[in-house]
Every structure is written in structure tokens, then in C-alpha cells.
Amino acid sequence: MELSWFKKGTIYQIYPRSFNDSDNDGIGDLRGIIEKLEYLKSLNVDILWLSPIFSSPNDDNGYDISDYCAIMPEFGTMDDFDELLEKTHNLGMRLILDLVANHCSDEHRWFTEAKKSKDNPYRDYFHWQQPAEDGGPPNNWMSFFGGSAWEYDHNSGEYFLHLFTKRQPDLNWENPKVREEIYEAMRFWLDKGVDGFRMDVIPLISKREGYPNAPDIGFRKILEDVYANGPRLHEYLQEMNKEVVSKYDAFSLAEGVGINHNNAGLYIDYDRKELDMLYHFDILECTIVNGKFEEASVFDLVNMKSIFKKWRDAVHQKGWLANAMGNHDFARMVSRFGNDEQYWSESAKMLLIMQSTQNGTLNIYQGDEIGMTNIVLDSIDDVRDVQSLNFYNENLKTKKHSNTSALEMINREGRDNARTPIQWNSEINGGFSEKEPWLKVNSNYKTINVEKQDNDPHSILNFYRHLLKIRKEHDVFVFGEFEELDFNNSNLYAYKKVLGEDEIIVILNFGDFQNDCKVSESALKGKVLINNYSDMKIYEDTIRLKPYQGVILKV
């Protein structure tokens, strides 16, 4: 077993735009992060992942990069970045950046050049195709954010490919110059000392030859078989690893879009030398039926257990996963998997117990450490996320749902839920900024905020700190062999983890009512390492768990 630092370390994702605004312009920034480094250290997290901080016109909040080696002016300067990196390292933490290499911004020089003419040297940095016979797009590929994935360019009479917004043209990885440009950018940051990259939609970089039409097999299958996992993908990833990442003490974390448990090994098996770990979408999407903004979400605990299990079995001893239950692309964790009203605090804590004892690197998202919840936006004018806006505007045309229902869906599943500014205190704008923030602060900031929880020993925040500390002291949390107990129980999630002499038993009640769990004698005699309530009722061989109670027993 390789005990690399990135396996045991906890990753904390920062969405800089919403983290902390130091210059009061309503937008979070790098100096805002610097101001909060001690806070981050106090959480006992080890690796900070910054969502993109590079120059960008922000059509998709930085996931549309116009210069890979420059800092977005709204976020600060290169000096600010250097200071942030140095101070992060001085505090014993690491820093990884978000590499968006499948596409860039339409304002990137590569694209403004490419658009000039068909024989421009940058033309081949992108995917251009002649119109179909009827003048329409060359094939039926759809953008992830709605509409055709092809945009017509009047100047040249050709279409270019964009799997995301039309302002995010896909880069042509077939072109070795494109690959070298990306590797150069990676080296630029690695030479500065960054500790790795989260790799945005990396499974999409190799396109299928001839751009064949997608068959009618449902979005998930199309994603896997048509957009992701292209023919030269693994060649590129091996090259990237060999040429760049392996030369540094750095790691890669892939966004596993379009990867399933059967092909995951191709990306992360140790002997393939491609990527160090990935987070998949099966857990993140397990409450979403038929894709975002479709049907009401459903949570089924046995289904969640089986997802964890199939992934655990698939990568067992061969590769490594990151374990994420929330990020900037999904609604808030406690609102989706817990009970964000009556059992808000209990369920937020219980979810962390589960997440921190699953296999893989723990990956937490900003604000979850204080149990931030979904927001209710009353008007479409308050929505900022391009995916939600595209859905709303498309729906205005198709009239599939009423406007009220469309807004309700956005409030339930939209990405803005996770992007509202961090609630630091009960002052104006939750202490995030003195100026009106770019996206509304959740109106519950007076009850849910860092300052309040900092002073409360029973808060979610202090529970996170405590649990992450305990996790560091017990390798069994991370590396233990996992054994399910009572798999088919639809209210309780109970399991054992064993590493050498060390054994822990984890019991989680997902119900908002009490539940009994029979346990072995040795477990009953064990020490309670973690409990999200102040007590634990035992009757003979049974533990009676309160709503959303979670315990870790050390046997």
C-alpha cells in the first residue's frame, strides 16, 4: 500500500468567487482566501483545491479560461497568488488548481486567432466542421448546457464544437501543439510549487473520429459512449502523466464525468500511470432522476450503499478514488442527503461520519463544514448559473414546464445552491462582503454562520474539526477493509472497517425516527470514538439510534 500524502489528506474545495471578498467589490478573491488560511488550517484539512482562478470572461465562472498563466483580475494578482501558495505551504497544507483543458474561452487568443481564417495557424486548435447538407450543425451532439454542441461561424461558414456553452470552444487534443500548450501551462504552475490539479471534464478530451451522430440511447449512455472515453484519451493521459505530473511531487484528481465503475480502472489503476484519483458522479447524482431539471429527486439508502460498494469493489487495491458528496455543480449536501430543517445539525454531522469513513480521499466542499443549505431564489433575475439560465430560457420556448415549476427545479437542483457566499457571521451579507455580492447570500446567514459555530462546542463546524483530527490519527478510516453489516436495511447504514489490529464499526441512522441496530459484544464493549449526539442508548445487544444519529465505535 502506497501511503501517499494525497491519499490520507482531506481535500477542501474553495469556490473563490464565493469564499471571502477582501476588497469589497462583491466578488471573493485570493486575498480573501489568504485572510482565512488560519481558519482553513483549523478545520484539519490538508489540501486546498481552488476552482479556476485564471483570466476568464466568466461565462461559466472561470471554467472558460482566456489565459492559462494569468490570474483573473477580479481575484487579484500573481503576487497575491504567490503569497497564497507560500502561506498555504507554511501552514503545512497543499494547494491544487483546477485545470480546464477540454475547452477554453472564446476570448482566448487561440480562438480569436482561429476564427480569423481557415488557414490561421491556430485554426487546428479547435474542432471545425462543414455544415450538414441542410446547412444545420454537422451532427446531433448536444451541449451539456442545452442546445446543439455546434455553433456556426459566419466568417468561415463552418461550425465549431462546444460541449459546454458556445463561449467554451472545445480544444482539439489531436493536435500535438495543443497538448504541448496545456502541458506548458501545467509546468508553469507546478514550477511555482502547486501540488497538483483537479482535472475538469478530462474524460471528454478525445473526440470520436468523424464526429458520428449520437444514437438514441439516453443521456447517460451517450455521455459514456459518444462524448467521453474517446479513442485516444488514454494515450493523452499517459503522455500528460509522463511529460508533466510524474516529474513533480504532485497529483491529479479527475472529474470522472462519463466514467463508470467498469472502465474506471483504465484511468486510475496504478500500473497505467494516468491519473492519481477520480471522483465519480454516481453518488453525486444518486438523487437525480433522468438528469438535472427533470423529475423530483428520490433518495434511496440501499441504492447509495450499492453504489459505494460497486465502486469499492471495482478499484479495490488497484487504484484510488476521491470521495465527494457535494461541490460547486450540485445542490447542497445536507439539503439533498440529510434533513436541512428539523435535523439539520444532526444530519450534516452524520453525513460527514459516512463520508469520512468511506474508502478514498475525503473531498469536502466549502460551506458544508457549517451545514450551509440550499437557497430559495424568488426570481429568475437572481439566478446566476449559466446552466440554470439556459434551462430556463429553453423552457420559455418549449413551455414544457410552467415558469414557476422551472424556477422550483432550479431551486432544487441548480448549481447556485452551492455557490452562495460563505456565511462568515451575522453582519451585512453574512460578513462575506460589504457590497452586494454577485450572488445572493442565503437568508439564513444569521442562524448559520462560521462565527456562531466557532463559539459553540456542539456545532457542525467543531464536529468537522474534531472528526477530521480523529481521522488523521486512525489509518483504518482511510485504508481499512470494508465490510457491510445489514446491507438491505433501508434506514441504517452499518459497516466495519479493519486494518491489521484496528477495527471500527460505523452505524448511521438515515431515518428521522429512532432505529435499533444489533451489534456484536466486542463492538458494545468498544470505545465510542465519534457520536453526533451527546449520548448513545444501549439495550442488551442493541444500540438505539436517534434520528440521524451516527456513531463510530473502536473495537
DSSP state of 223: I
Residue with the shortest CB distance to ligand GLC: 63
SS3 call for 327: coil
Q: Which of 255, 274, 329, 340 is catalytic?
A: 255
Closest to ligand GLC by CB, 255 or 346? 255
Closest to ligand GLC by CB, 49 or 424? 49
Say whether residue 274 binds ligand GLC (CB under 6 A): no
Say whether residue 284 binds ligand GLC (CB under 6 A): no
Closest to ligand GLC by CB, 170 or 276? 170
Say whether residue 170 binds ligand GLC (CB under 6 A): no
Distance CA 149, CA 142 (A): 5
The cell for 516 is 435499533
Which residue from 164, 227, 236, 391 is in contact with ligand GLC, where contact means CB under 6 A? Answer: 164
Pairing of strands 128-129, 277-279: unpaired
CB of 329 to ligand GLC, least distance (A): 5
Looking up cell 466568466, which residue turns up? Answer: 58
Which residue from 46, 80, 106, 200 is in contact with ligand GLC, where contact means CB under 6 A? Answer: 200
Is 200 catalytic? The answer is: yes
Say whether residue 227 binds ligand GLC (CB under 6 A): no
Closest to ligand GLC by CB, 195 or 200? 200
CB of 63 to ligand GLC, least distance (A): 3
Which residue from 201, 268, 333, 364 is in contact with ligand GLC, where contact means CB under 6 A? Answer: 201
The site that binds ligand GLC (CB under 6 A) totals a number of residues, namely 9
Say whether residue 330 binds ligand GLC (CB under 6 A): no
Closest to ligand GLC by CB, 198 or 474? 198
Q: Which of 200, 368, 413, 416 is catalytic?
A: 200
Is 170 catalytic? The answer is: no
CB of 539 to ligand GLC, least distance (A): 47
Closest to ligand GLC by CB, 144 or 344? 144
H-run or E-run covering 484: strand 481-485
Closest to ligand GLC by CB, 107 or 269? 107
The cell for 244 is 508533466
Give the residue among 249, 308, 307, 252 at the shortest CA–CA distance from 277: 252
Distance CA 120, CA 160 (A): 15
Site residues for ligand GLC, window 69-108 (CB under 6 A)?
100
CB of 55 to ligand GLC, least distance (A): 15
The cell for 126 is 479547435
What region, left, alpha or beta, does residue 331 occupy, with left being phi > 0 and alpha being psi -120 to 50 degrees? beta
Give the residue among 242, 164, 158, 233 at the shortest CA–CA distance from 202: 233
137-141: which pairs have CB atoms within 8 A and are 24 or more residues apart? 138/211, 139/211, 139/212, 139/213, 139/214, 140/213, 140/214, 141/211, 141/213, 141/214, 141/226, 141/227
Site residues for ligand GLC, window 23-62 (CB under 6 A)?
60
The 3-state secondary structure of 340-404, one letter per residue = CCCCHHHHHHHHHHHHHHCCCEEEEECCHHHCCCCCCCCCHHHCCCHHHHHHHHHHHHHCCCCHH
Say whether residue 205 binds ligand GLC (CB under 6 A): no
What amino acid occupies position 492?
Answer: L
Instruction: For residue 368, give every residue at least 6 positions away whose Cβ sits within 8 Å of its Cβ, in sequence order, or none.
Output: 325, 326, 332, 333, 334, 348, 352
Site residues, ligand GLC (CB under 6 A) = 60, 63, 100, 164, 200-201, 255, 328-329
Indicate which residues carry an active-site annotation: 200, 255
